[in-house]
Structure 1
Amino acid sequence: MIWHSLLLIYRNFKRFKTTFFINLIGLSTGLACALAVYLWVNDELSFDKYHATDSRLFRVMENVRTDQGINTRWGTHPLLAEALVEEMPEIESAATVTPPGFFPQFTLVGANKNVRAVGKYAAENFFSLFTYPLVQGDANRVLANKSAIVLSQEMAIALFGTPQNAMGKSVEWQMGMADLKQTCIVSGVFGPIPPNSTERFDFVLTFDAFKDIMKMGQRITWEDDGPFHTYIVLKEGTNTAQFNSKIAKLLQGKSAKNKSRTLFVEPYSDAYLYGEFENGAHAGGRIQYVRLFSAIALFVLLIACINFMNLATAKATRRVKEIGVRKTLGASRAALVMHFLAESVLMSLLALLVAVMLVQLVLPQFNEITGKQLALELSLKSVGAFLGIALLAGLLAGSYPAFYLSGFKPATVFRGTLRNSMADLWTRKGLVVFQFALSVLFIVCVLVVHRQVAFVQSKDLGYDKNNIIYFETAGKSAQQPVAFLAELKRLPGVLNASGMWGSFVVVGPQGMGPQLEWGGRKIPVNNLGVNYDMLETLGIQIKAGRSFSRQFRSDSLKIIVNEALVATLGMQNPVGKVLGKAQIVGVAKNFHYESLHEKVEPFIFRLEPQAAGTVLVKLAPGREQETIKLLQQFYRQFNPGLTLDYHFLDADYQAQYASERRIAVLSRYFAGLAIVISCLGLLGLTAFTAERRRKEIGVRKVLGASEFSIVYLLSSDLTKLVVVAIILALPISYLVVSQWLNSFEYRIALHFWYFLAAGLLALLVAWLTVGTQAVRAARVAPALCLRDE
């Protein structure tokens, strides 16, 4: 029986070759899109989930009430972990860790080799909380000694040849100024960090050593803020909501000055997808893109399924006799439904094979667009997911045709021509409208995303990011920053140079800095320690007052604020006023140190004449490569044994919009796929309409109808459906793109021509698709049209 059904399916595929290939192309394209997005979504959902304690691993965070609302901080007090373990029996263990990007790159020296590396300080139990498997050393003891250092396997090989050779060896690290250096003993080596990890680092030092270096124990109070990350592992069965209620007032109990500060915990692995907060509540994150692309993949696959439905019901007149004969011979409706569903599922499985080959073919380009390292691994999970997607697509595509075709009555079939009911016609028309409405929506999204990305790249940021490189200092350049910067400025092609502590462009989620109080108002403020000439190097303009100057020795006790800070505090004539313990000497015009998703927040520049942890260099336009070569030679001469590792400031700015650029590229591909698949459906429907009305066309041509009138006859109905789709899609697309643009504090205006252009483009493509088939039908000789079967 099964072989008989398969034989009938094969014969129908062979009989309706055009429909078979249109369905195969459409379904395989839709499935390829769904499979690629599935791989991407699966990877996104897996980030930071590999830790053995994942279900009980939490990050402690802090909400601070300010005059501007609730500010959520990632950073916590350095002693918080110890206090939590002592006072909260629900906690199994806790650790304090320096946050990612907290330090510039270190210089490691071992076995007469110098390497640049990213490091962090962590509590003794760091490798017990987090699953970074050690290839050498004991996880419970590697950070027990203050002089211990745990290297990555790659770093151990770079310095000592093998991880085994690294054990027990001395490594000297240096960071920034000359007094920030220490000799450590390698106590362990950890293996490669998984690619689905949000943190990347080359070595770990003990946090106790950091406290000694910074002399933290001598001056820490519970009123202090902290940039450090506190992680905890809760005991099995702990209720997270109840625990949050319990720790909320902990800081307030330590000091009356902490009445505006509230603690809470969030799952560590949620930070990647749910990392944005607004007024103390979740405001999304990368999960929005996961949902977006999942929906897009679903819609593209749905468009392909609609093609199958439409073509299957359109060719119903060609299969009515087959259905009538089978029912006359005793076939039940249930058996016919199963047969047609099996036909659609088999088509879907064939399309799956083609889709897998397509995904394998385009995966390198897909990885380049998404910044991933995805691979098409045929594991039990992935095979099950792929088959599940194909099965659902097959059942969805075949459901309506199966029930529609199996409902024909033999008496009606053998009586003559089958008449389509109004419900059938409206269903088929509704499906065409739906798929083209989705296509129009995609086109609008492509136009708006492209315009917003172009706006982001061209907007005046309040500073000049072009032709500026930056690098982190080490060796002699860190020890003698004044001499280094002075000689650097004398190089041909260097227009200006300065130094600072930290990074100028903020990439990724970050809480505001400490609060400042003025005139009874408290606001959180970001601040940056800079050297002389930093504002001039960046091209930041002074609106009032002056910039830092070597002519005024007391400027190290002065600050420059931005317009946003003045406006927030409601200051009048701010120059000369004292804010905190520093006097304002200048007001800088607003500049975007964060992405355009955020409004310009209050900012303070502090003068630190020794600041040179990060050096910015303004290069003469047109001489960048020549100047960089001179700069590399100078750096090697000034820092024997070290090489210059530089970056362009413009690249940091662009990194803030990596997601948006990927959306722009992927949306173009998705829109193209949606339009192509929709047009395949129109092509098939036009062909079947022409075939069904073949004799009518012949009679009309015999009576003198022109080819143009025949083309209009065949294309007018489908054109009307496309117009209806455009009318329905435009208001929906306006709501969708408006919602996306709302995530930007600075965004483009939605002009009517975006929507008009999308509608006209969809209509033009539909006309070309329908028109080519209609012209072909209109040119057939009347004698061929009127020939009897």
Structure 2
Amino acid sequence: MFKHNFITILRSFKRNRSSFIINLIGLSTGLACTLLIALWVQDEFKVDQFHENKDRLYQILERQTIADETSVSFTTVGMLAETLHEDFPEVEYATAVTHYSWFPKFGLSTGGDRLIKSTGQFVSEDFFNVFSYELLKGSRSQVLKDRNAIVISRSTAEKLFGSVEEAVGKTVQWHLADLERDAMVTGVFDGPPAHSTEQFDFVISFEIWKEMSPAVLNWGNNGTHIYTSLKEGASLDEFNNKILTLLQSRVENTNRELFATPFAEEYLYGKYEGGQRVGGRIENVRLFSIIAIFILLMACVNFMNLSTAKALRRAKEVGIKKAIGADRSVLVRQYLGESILLAAIGLCFALIIITLILPKFNEVTGKELSMSMDGSTILFMILVTVLTGILSGSYPALYLSQFNPAVVLKGKLSNSKSELLIRKGLVIFQFALSVILIVSVIIVYKQIDLLQNKDLGYKKDQLIYFEKEGQASNSLEMFTTELKKVPGVLDVSSTSNNIIGSYNKTSGVDWEGKDENEPIEFEVVDVDYDFIETMGMTMKEGRSFSRDYGADKTKIIFNEAAIDAMSLDEPVSKHVSLWGEDREIIGVVNNFHYESFYKEVKPLLFKIDPDKTIFVMARIRGDETQKVISDIRSFYEKFNPGYTFDYVSLNDKYQEQYASERQIGLLSTYFASLAIIISCLGLFGLAAFTTQSRIKEIGLRKIFGSSIPSIVVLLTKDFTKIVLIAIVIAIPISYVLATSWLQGFAYKTSVGVWVYVFAALLALIISWVTVGYQAVKAAYINPVKTSRE
């Protein structure tokens, strides 16, 4: 019986070659899409899951409410780790981390001329007890005991010393700006794995950072990441209740609250609104998982539609089998076997498609995915394929197997209204989803265009920055003066913040009329002279810093948001206190976006302190960019022997903030295209069958004088109605989805009616082209020939 069914299935494929090819293309494309997204989703869920104590590993965050607006900060007080470890018995370990992204790359050397650039961060003693980075050399509890210790990665050890074994006990010089220190290698770790959100080359004792930045000792400041692991059996809720008001006991009149959140969940669930977790990257995971399911469903719909549409052709086969004794279950198994076999063939083609497009998919997603044929992967593929076969074949199998043999053999079987309604409903589902995806793609790209072209309050183009180090740091004023003489360099200054993100906040600003019950956090940016001019910022009132005024190091400049938050009228010439030091306001700079468009512009202050700047900013001429950069490199390496010139384009750094959105846009475009193609395949097949079944009618109409255009309109009219219904259903759904996605941005694009009109017209044009081809082809057939059939 199996052999017989198998041969029957193959004959069916051969006899219905066109529908077989359409179904095969649809199913293989749907399966390829599903498997690719499954690979991506699986990889997303692996991030930060490698830590041995992940179920007890937490990050301490701050919740702050100002003027009824609650926000969450991922940084907090630098001294908090020590306090947690000493005063809270449920805390097993706690560590403070100054994140590597805040610094330029460090220079590491072994005392000779050779200097390598590496990513480093300052961490407190229990860092390797909190996190499970594998130590190849050294003890977790001992490697950071010494304040002059440095723990380096395997790759760094091999670059500096040739091997891991040679590194331990050796002295390394590290360079950061004008600071140069010796450190002893006390341990070597294997390096963060690919699925770690933290990627760094070495760590240095947090004690050095306390010395470099005494502000970290102030409980009124934040700017440090704090992580802790709780003891077995400790309650997170009880711990959060204890630390909630810890800051209030250390800082007067503060509205900052602490809470702990699972570190392993932050990658996927790290988005907060109103002080509460509301999602994050998990939204993208859900979105693309749903898209994968829908695209596979669309392929299954094609199979259902074409199978039921051709049911009359297989009716006699069913009638004869039933007449000779085959019961319904036998027929159901045969037709389900047919769909499962087709899905299996589709899987083979899907694997070929994945092999071809996986490199491009990795490029778009920024991952290194591979189709490993392990047991779980093979089981997943088999499961998806079988489910796809059963889903796509279940309705046709049940529909075909119910035919009455007496009615079938008498030739009285015809398409029922319910069958036609089901087929039309399935087409509506396909095109509704296509319209939703088209609208989504347009809105994502409109938002990305806004992010890329909105006035930021400064000019990011033709602006580069690089770290201040070596002689350039020791003689900063001379360096910037000489750099300005390089042809093509228009302006130069230095800063502690590259204006992409928040780095250092304080609530230590006081002024006359301040409401002590509403403390305000300010972003603190240390700058050199000419910074505002170099960045292309504009002053709302007052002036910027100038060497023409000898006492500007005691002055301060705020942004508009700060002045509004402080409720100051005519702020220029008024005095404020910054950490107890009197400063005069000399100007107010127009608001500029130093954080992403997900957030409103927050209060910020500038103060002159070249010694605390980290980056040199240079605006260059745009017509000969590469030549100017080449000249800067030559000057830099001559002025700063032993150091390499590594620069970053501010525009590129800005675009990195929205890499995820661009990925969504690009992937959505690909998936929308796939959905449209699959929809068109199904529509093409149905149109072909419909026109074939009406071929005699078409011939008669032509004989009685109908024109070709009127016949084409006749054949496309029913499909047009179906697509219009799909559009009516899709537009309100797409509006709700688009509005929900845009709510995450503080600044969002407008969604005009034209977006929906364009999507509707595109769907109609696609359907007309798909159906019109078959209609025109049928209309041109000789009516004499069709009347004989």
| TM-score, reference length from structure 1 | 0.95
CA–CA distance in structure 1, aligned partners of residues 403 and 507 of structure 2? 75
CA–CA distance in structure 2, aligned partners of residues 249 and 122 of structure 1? 25
CA–CA distance in structure 2, aligned partners of residues 200 and 276 of structure 1? 21
* Deviating more after overlay: 57-66 vs 674-683: 57-66
CA–CA distance in structure 2, aligned partners of residues 619 and 194 of structure 1? 38
Q: Is 1:241 paired with 2:234? A: no
Q: Which residue of 1 is the match for residue 55 of structure 2?
A: 55
CA–CA distance in structure 2, aligned partners of residues 639 and 9 of structure 1? 76
* Deviating more after overlay: 515-524 vs 624-633: 515-524
Q: Which residue of 2 is the match for residue 403 of structure 1?
A: 398
How far the C-alpha of 1:517 sits from its partner, in A, is: 5.1
Q: Which residue of 2 is the match for residue 260 of structure 1?
A: 255
Pairs within 5 Å for 1:19-58? 19-58=19-58
Q: Which residue of 1 is the match for residue 151 of structure 2?
A: 150
Pairs within 5 Å for 1:640-651? 640-651=641-652
CA–CA distance in structure 2, aligned partners of residues 515 and 283 of structure 1? 30
CA–CA distance in structure 2, aligned partners of residues 534 and 38 of structure 1? 48
How far the C-alpha of 1:256 sits from its partner, in A, is: 6.3
8 Å CA contact 1:561, 1:603 repeated in 2: yes
8 Å CA contact 2:471, 2:640 repeated in 1: yes
Q: Which residue of 2 is the match for residue 661 of structure 1?
A: 662
* Deviating more after overlay: 554-563 vs 140-149: 140-149
Report SS of the residue matched to 2:200: coil
CA deviations 1:285-325 (Å, max 9, x no partner) are 21221122112222222211111111111111111111122
Q: Which residue of 2 is the match for residue 316 of structure 1?
A: 311
Q: Which residue of 2 is the match for residue 104 of structure 1?
A: 104
Go from structure 1 to structure 2 and tell me whether the alpha carbon gap of 1:256 and 1:565 turns closer, same or farther (over 3 Å shift). closer
How far the C-alpha of 1:102 sits from its partner, in A, is: 2.9
Q: Which residue of 2 is the match for residue 183 of structure 1?
A: 182
CA–CA distance in structure 2, aligned partners of residues 512 and 683 of structure 1? 61
8 Å CA contact 2:111, 2:173 repeated in 1: no
CA–CA distance in structure 2, aligned partners of residues 505 and 491 of structure 1? 26
Q: Which residue of 2 is the match for residue 682 of structure 1?
A: 683
Go from structure 1 to structure 2 and tell me whether the alpha carbon gap of 1:483 and 1:297 turns closer, same or farther (over 3 Å shift). same
What is the RMSD computed on CA atoms of the aligned residues? 2.0
8 Å CA contact 1:467, 1:621 repeated in 2: yes
Q: Which residue of 2 is the match for residue 199 of structure 1?
A: 198
Pairs within 5 Å for 1:269-284? 269-284=264-279
Report SS of the residue matched to 1:357: helix
Go from structure 1 to structure 2 and tell me whether the alpha carbon gap of 1:386 and 1:752 turns closer, same or farther (over 3 Å shift). same
Q: Which residue of 1 is the match for residue 450 of structure 2?
A: 455
Q: Which residue of 1 is the match for residue 521 of structure 2?
A: 524
8 Å CA contact 2:146, 2:205 repeated in 1: yes
Amino acid at match of 1:382: T
1:502 paired residue among 497, 502, 509:
497
Amino acid at match of 2:271: E
CA–CA distance in structure 2, aligned partners of residues 746 and 262 of structure 1? 27
Go from structure 1 to structure 2 and tell me whether the alpha carbon gap of 1:570 and 1:250 turns closer, same or farther (over 3 Å shift). closer
Report SS of the residue matched to 1:121: strand
Amino acid at match of 2:524: N
8 Å CA contact 2:436, 2:730 repeated in 1: yes
CA–CA distance in structure 2, aligned partners of residues 513 and 352 of structure 1? 57
2:372 paired residue among 355, 373, 377:
377
Pairs within 5 Å for 1:769-788? 769-788=770-789
Q: Which residue of 2 is the match for residue 18 of structure 1?
A: 18
Pairs within 5 Å for 1:203-602? 203-214=202-213, 220=217, 223-252=219-248, 254-255=249-250, 257=252, 260-506=255-501, 513-514=506-507, 516=509, 518=511, 519=513, 520=515, 521-581=518-578, 582-602=583-603
Q: Which residue of 2 is the match for residue 734 of structure 1?
A: 735
CA deviations 1:113-153 (Å, max 9, x no partner) are 21121111222232232222123333332222222211112
Report SS of the residue matched to 1:522: coil
CA–CA distance in structure 1, aligned partners of residues 653 and 680 of structure 2? 41
Go from structure 1 to structure 2 and tell me whether the alpha carbon gap of 1:57 and 1:399 turns closer, same or farther (over 3 Å shift). same
8 Å CA contact 1:149, 1:203 repeated in 2: yes
CA–CA distance in structure 1, aligned partners of residues 493 and 55 of structure 2? 46
How far the C-alpha of 1:723 sits from its partner, in A, is: 1.4
How far the C-alpha of 1:578 sits from its partner, in A, is: 2.2
Amino acid at match of 1:514: S
8 Å CA contact 1:104, 1:613 repeated in 2: yes
How far the C-alpha of 1:552 sits from its partner, in A, is: 1.8
* Deviating more after overlay: 393-402 vs 302-311: 393-402
Go from structure 1 to structure 2 and tell me whether the alpha carbon gap of 1:517 and 1:351 turns closer, same or farther (over 3 Å shift). farther
* Deviating more after overlay: 58-67 vs 701-710: 701-710
* Deviating more after overlay: 181-190 vs 434-443: 181-190
8 Å CA contact 1:320, 1:408 repeated in 2: yes
Amino acid at match of 2:526: G
8 Å CA contact 1:73, 1:511 repeated in 2: no
CA–CA distance in structure 2, aligned partners of residues 229 and 493 of structure 1? 40
Amino acid at match of 2:220: D
8 Å CA contact 1:541, 1:588 repeated in 2: yes
How far the C-alpha of 1:214 sits from its partner, in A, is: 4.6
CA–CA distance in structure 2, aligned partners of residues 289 and 432 of structure 1? 27
Report SS of the residue matched to 1:142: coil
How far the C-alpha of 1:59 sits from its partner, in A, is: 0.8
8 Å CA contact 2:222, 2:505 repeated in 1: no
Amino acid at match of 2:230: L
Report SS of the residue matched to 2:631: helix
Go from structure 1 to structure 2 and tell me whether the alpha carbon gap of 1:174 and 1:256 turns closer, same or farther (over 3 Å shift). closer
Report SS of the residue matched to 1:523: coil
Go from structure 1 to structure 2 and tell me whether the alpha carbon gap of 1:438 and 1:513 turns closer, same or farther (over 3 Å shift). farther
Amino acid at match of 2:188: V
Report SS of the residue matched to 1:282: strand
Q: Which consecutive unaligned segments of at least 5 residues does structure 1 have?
A: none
CA–CA distance in structure 2, aligned partners of residues 396 and 293 of structure 1? 20
CA–CA distance in structure 2, aligned partners of residues 763 and 591 of structure 1? 43
Q: Which residue of 2 is the match for residue 761 of structure 1?
A: 762
How far the C-alpha of 1:259 sits from its partner, in A, is: 5.5
How far the C-alpha of 1:215 sits from its partner, in A, is: 5.7
Go from structure 1 to structure 2 and tell me whether the alpha carbon gap of 1:517 and 1:773 turns closer, same or farther (over 3 Å shift). farther
8 Å CA contact 2:222, 2:506 repeated in 1: no
Amino acid at match of 1:540: M
Q: Which consecutive unaligned segments of at least 5 residues does structure 2 have?
A: none
8 Å CA contact 2:220, 2:506 repeated in 1: no
Identity of aligned residues (%): 44
Go from structure 1 to structure 2 and tell me whether the alpha carbon gap of 1:215 and 1:66 turns closer, same or farther (over 3 Å shift). closer
Amino acid at match of 2:688: A
* Deviating more after overlay: 254-263 vs 486-495: 254-263
CA–CA distance in structure 2, aligned partners of residues 48 and 503 of structure 1? 28
Report SS of the residue matched to 1:540: coil
Q: Which residue of 2 is the match for residue 123 of structure 1?
A: 124
Go from structure 1 to structure 2 and tell me whether the alpha carbon gap of 1:513 and 1:421 turns closer, same or farther (over 3 Å shift). farther
Pairs within 5 Å for 1:684-763? 684-763=685-764
Go from structure 1 to structure 2 and tell me whether the alpha carbon gap of 1:603 and 1:383 turns closer, same or farther (over 3 Å shift). same
Go from structure 1 to structure 2 and tell me whether the alpha carbon gap of 1:317 and 1:512 turns closer, same or farther (over 3 Å shift). farther
Flag as ranges the 4+ runs of structure 1 deviating above 6 A. Answer: none
Report SS of the residue matched to 1:283: strand
CA deviations 1:610-652 (Å, max 9, x no partner) are 3442000011221322221111111111111111000111111
Pairs within 5 Å for 1:625-640? 625-640=626-641
8 Å CA contact 1:497, 1:616 repeated in 2: yes
